[in-house]
Amino acid sequence: MNVAGRMGFAALWCLLFASAIAVVWSKHQARSLFIQLQSLNAERDALDIEWGQLKLEQSAWSTHGRVEQTARGALRMIIPRPDEVRIVKREE
């Protein structure tokens, strides 16, 4: 085999080695990104659960009975007597 053939053969081996390294690197990157995706999906699911719980809590705190109890207790509000109510009509 002449020198040019040997150099071509060595170049092919170098290209083959570089290609193998690139395949390993890309597979590693794909696995790392997949792990990150799974972590983000788990975080999203946890946040969805927390959001549902907060919406449920908000609806419990905003029930008519709870608002009236807070108005009477903490704010000392009462329902006005009928003679204390004034109806204001808007003229058009």
In tens, the pLDDT along 35-82 reads 999 999 999 999 999 999 999 999 988 888 888 888 899 999 988 999
Question: Do 31 and 39 touch, CB atoms closer than 8 A?
Answer: no
Q: What is the DSSP string of 1-64?
A: --HHHHHHHHHHHHHHHHHHHHHHHHHHHHHHHHHHHHHHHHHHHHHHHHHHHHHHHHHHHTSH
Q: What is the pTM of this model?
A: 0.58
In tens, the pLDDT along 31-45 reads 999 999 999 999 999
First to last CA, the chain: 105
Kindly indicate the confidence band of residue 92, based on its pLDDT and cuts at 50, 70 and 90. confident
Dist. CA 36–CA 44, nearest whole Å: 12
**Radius of gyration (Cα) for the chain, nearest Å?**
36
